[in-house]
Amino acid sequence: MNFLAVVFGLFLMSCNSTVVHDQSVSSPDGKVKMEFDVNGSGRPFYRVFYNDKTVIDTSYVGFEFKNGKAFKDNFKIVATTLTDHDETWQMPWGEQLEVQNRYNALKISLEEEVAPNRKWDIIFKTYDDGIGFRYAFPEQEGIKELVITDENTQFNLTGNHKVWWIPGDWDIYEHLYNETLFTDIDALGLSGHENLNATYIPENAVNTPVTMKTDDGLYLSFHEADLTDYSGMTLKVHKEDLLMTSELVGSDILKAKAKITLPFETPWRTIQIAEKAGDLIESKLILNLNEPNAIGDVSYFTPMKYVGIWWEMHIGKSTWDLEGSQDMNTFTTGKRGSSRHGATTENAKKYIDFASENGIKGLLVEGWNTGWDKWINTEDREGVFDFMTPYADYDFDAVMAYAKEKGVEVIMHHETSAAPRTYEKQMDVAYDFMKDNGINSVKTGYVGKIIPKGEYHHGQWMVNHYHKVLEEAAKKEIAINAHEPIKATGKRRTYPNAISREGLRGQEFNAWATDGGNPPSHLPTVAFTRMLAGPIDFTPGVFNIKFDDYKKENQVNTTLAQQLALYVVIYSPIQMACDLPEHYMQDGKVHPAFQFITDVGVDWSQTKVLNGEVGDYVTIARKERNTDNWFLGSITDENARTLDVAFDFLDDGKNYTATIYKDAEDAHWNTNPTAITIDTITVTKDSKLTLQLAEGGGTAISIVPQE
């Protein structure tokens, strides 16, 4: 456009007495840009660019309501506001200490040009690592409450990208990731749900975070931030149009997707954009889009490693219930009378001894309380569990006293069996009981279909339950590690008592899944998908990879060295050493590789992703808080790999002792998984090392300054 055309254009606009509005905003580094407008019929849309190339093409946004006309056409822009922001905040625990939150924001105020002239705002934030936008429904006359039957946010892709996806299940995220072209996404055609205790996939949609790679080599990941008082978002796949639309999880009881009271702000819809896959992992966009800490000091929670009476139930050595023989393969309770109860006083003491002798701080005990005999596959799970009454063979006080004597911290376990109303009734006393006994954190669980029938794990009703748990727990200074949770959306910034969660196919599937367990590509995919949402209680550390004494047909599909590397790669402020104490012994002594688990940090001041490709491999180095120790973890899929690593992240002028735990030359996840070699060398900032990873293998390195 030449100068005259610009002048003419402005002249035309002023003749129409149109106000000129800001309709685009760029990231501080100028690389990410979004544009907003309404089309000829007043329908709002946005576009996203990276380095001037379109990454999200014209995408319309709108809503449908049960109690009102849809938000679709007839909107005009009445005002826009540009702001910028740059702040650095500290994580009380985390992947790093300091987080920079720097963005430019554009708030668009819309109004209907026809009656009832409703108001609607959209706020966009552009960061160097992507964008987030949310809808705001301002307070206005005549509307108090809106019942949303559909949120129609489009994400219009610019190509048939490669996608790493799990189905848009309304009840569970515990699926294997699929790697396909966008046009080959087929969530409804998936099989292999037989090991899921609750699953509902109503249409061809995916759950988030969903990560993609474009033909130009750009990485995109779609998710949401600050999911509060709203339903989880799945993304419906429209193959022909290379388009995704938001599909909120519904409720058969509300017969809609979400009910909101004005004023209301939805969660942020997020798109992380990166040139290197590893930059997605380093991105703090999801956290930055959440509100600052609302609960104050959380030093009652100490990041830690823990052991537990847990894996032995999953591999079938013992059971949760007192006299049954629960079978995790089929989720049934078998015939009675074969008492193999895991949570006995004696067994707990055995784990406590192992923990205290090997530098492990925590102990989790599952199956300690009554109710497990009616746990799985019963319709009536309301009122089954109570969270105060131990089984007869578990002397709660004696275990607590012994743990205290040995300096071990006990972690509570509350399996709610997806009966949240029962849990809400008992929460108050259950949390007091914990605090009276000096217990500061609890692993919660939601196995089964939600009671009442018609609600789903990822719908608004449950989102509010999970939130209530965080709030009530915060009041009592209790930290939460939820299994079968709602997805992480960065709320740990606001509620840092949300320490970890499951929300993926965890280690347990290797113990009993009938499909062969998690394939070697699982975790190199998880690192670039699920892990972008937040901490994962994956429970690594299996040393007895094949556990043939218990199950011939199941095994872990990685090498032992990879199990060690996971403590660094998969982030969580609590990390389990999940195997049985006896499985950590070799020739009457603790296995030398356990030293890595004893040494590895769980709370970090810095994180660097050194290399990686989604679904293939990844190498991460993390610096421990309050020490100068670094730890490095590298994992690969079913392919052996040679990876060059530079130690330039280390401090200047320091010598470090690096203890390298690596796959032996003939190691292989299936034929020789436990073959591990341990070397010690001196490294400096100038060192370079070539890592040799076996098929399904890994390398773990502890790097400690020499005095």
Q: Which of 224, 502, 603, 663 binds ligand NOJ (CB under 6 A)?
A: 502
Interface residues for ligand NOJ in 269-328 (CB under 6 A)?
310
Q: Which stretch binds ligand NOJ (CB under 6 A): 72-80, 388-396, 500-508, 626-634?
A: 500-508
DSSP 8-state class, residue 331: T
Tell me the CA end-to-end span of the chain in Å, nearest whole number: 66
Q: Tell me how far, at minimum, the Cβ of 506 lies from ligand NOJ, in Å.
A: 6
Beta-ladder partners of 411: 364
Residue 447 lies near ligand NOJ (rule: CB under 6 A): yes
Q: Which of 57, 312, 415, 624 binds ligand NOJ (CB under 6 A)?
A: 415
Q: Which is nearer to ligand NOJ, 223 or 483 (CB)?
A: 483
Nearest CA among 316, 319, 447 for reference residue 373: 319
Per-residue binding string, ligand NOJ, 128-167, x by CB under 6 A, is ----------------------------------------
For residues 177 and 135, what is the distance between their CA atoms, to the nearest angstrom?
30
Question: For 117, what's the count of Cα atoms within 13 Å in the CB-facing half-sphere?
Answer: 3
Residue 414 lies near ligand NOJ (rule: CB under 6 A): no
Residue 508 lies near ligand NOJ (rule: CB under 6 A): yes
Q: Tell me how far, at minimum, the Cβ of 197 lies from ligand NOJ, in Å.
A: 8
145 is catalytic: no
CA distances from 682 to 153, 628, 644, 662, 705 (A): 54, 15, 17, 16, 9
Which tokens belong to 651? 């401090």
For residues 372 and 323, what is the distance between their CA atoms, to the nearest angstrom?
10
For residues 515 and 195, what is the distance between their CA atoms, to the nearest angstrom?
9
Q: Which is nearer to ligand NOJ, 259 or 483 (CB)?
A: 483
Residue 501 lies near ligand NOJ (rule: CB under 6 A): no
- Provide CB contacts within 8 A for 550, sequence distance 6+: 315, 316, 317
Q: Which is nearer to ligand NOJ, 226 or 415 (CB)?
A: 415
Q: Which is nearer to ligand NOJ, 159 or 390 (CB)?
A: 390
For residues 324 and 333, what is the distance between their CA atoms, to the nearest angstrom?
7
With CB under 6 A as the rule, give the number of residues binding ligand NOJ: 9
Q: Which is nearer to ligand NOJ, 418 or 610 (CB)?
A: 418
Query: What interhelical angle do 345-357 and 396-405 show, nearest 10?
Result: 10
Q: Tell me how far, at minimum, the Cβ of 366 lies from ligand NOJ, in Å.
A: 5
Which tokens belong to 195? 């090991």
Which tokens belong to 223? 């998710």
Q: Which is nearer to ligand NOJ, 35 or 382 (CB)?
A: 382
Which tokens belong to 698? 């890994």
Q: Tell me how far, at minimum, the Cβ of 507 lies from ligand NOJ, in Å.
A: 9
- Sign of the C-alpha dihedral, residues 677, 678, 681, 683? positive
Residue 385 lies near ligand NOJ (rule: CB under 6 A): no
Q: Which is nearer to ligand NOJ, 290 or 500 (CB)?
A: 500
Contact indicator for 523, 636 with CB cutoff of 8 Å:
no
For residues 557 and 575, what is the distance between their CA atoms, to the nearest angstrom?
19
Q: Tell me how far, at minimum, the Cβ of 286 lies from ligand NOJ, in Å.
A: 23
Residue 603 lies near ligand NOJ (rule: CB under 6 A): no
Q: Which is nearer to ligand NOJ, 539 or 702 (CB)?
A: 539
Catalytic residue among 247, 366, 508, 624: 508
Q: Which stretch binds ligand NOJ (CB under 6 A): 10-18, 268-276, 502-510, 635-643?
A: 502-510
Q: Tell me how far, at minimum, the Cβ of 631 lies from ligand NOJ, in Å.
A: 25
CA distances from 236 to 122, 205, 403, 421 (A): 22, 4, 49, 31
For residues 386 and 372, what is the distance between their CA atoms, to the nearest angstrom?
10
DSSP 8-state class, residue 629: -
Contact indicator for 190, 177 with CB cutoff of 8 Å:
no
Residue 483 lies near ligand NOJ (rule: CB under 6 A): yes
Q: Tell me how far, at minimum, the Cβ of 310 lies from ligand NOJ, in Å.
A: 6
Q: Which of 250, 342, 420, 445 binds ligand NOJ (CB under 6 A)?
A: 445
Q: Which residues are annotated as catalytic?
A: 508
Q: By the criterion CB under 6 A, which residues form the site for ligand NOJ? A: 310, 366, 415, 445, 447, 483, 502, 506, 508
